[in-house]
């Protein structure tokens, strides 16, 4: 997370992978799936949030603090 966006915005991983998001902005962010499949909780500046994904599919997610921050996660 940097500049109030997810970088990269499109992410492709395998089932069972753990994804780490690092917050490089000076305010908190979170990672929240639109369908409720995963949720990081708020991640403070300079901190990281981890999610392990085990369900295959394509998931849209946002930061609920900044609804314009969107990403797409594909789990193969």
Q: Give the footprint of Cu ion on this chain (CB under 5 A).
A: 29, 63, 65-66, 69
Q: How far is the CB of 68 from Cu ion (least distance, A)?
A: 9
3-class SS of residue 22? strand
Handedness of CA 45, 70, 36, 38 (dihedral sign): negative
Adjacent-strand bridge partners of 23: none
Which is closer to Cu ion, CB of 4 or CB of 15? 4
Q: How far is the CB of 25 from Cu ion (least distance, A)?
A: 7
Q: How far is the CB of 24 from Cu ion (least distance, A)?
A: 12
């Amino acid at each position: 997370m940097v500049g109030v966006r997810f970088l990269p915005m499109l992410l492709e991983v395998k089932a069972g992978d753990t994804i780490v998001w690092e917050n490089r902005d000076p305010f908190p962010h979170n990672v929240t799936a639109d369908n409720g499949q995963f949720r990081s909780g708020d991640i403070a500046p300079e901190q990281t949030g981890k999610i392990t994904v085990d369900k295959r599919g394509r998931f849209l997610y946002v930061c609920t603090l900044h609804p314009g921050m969107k990403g797409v996660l594909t789990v193969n």
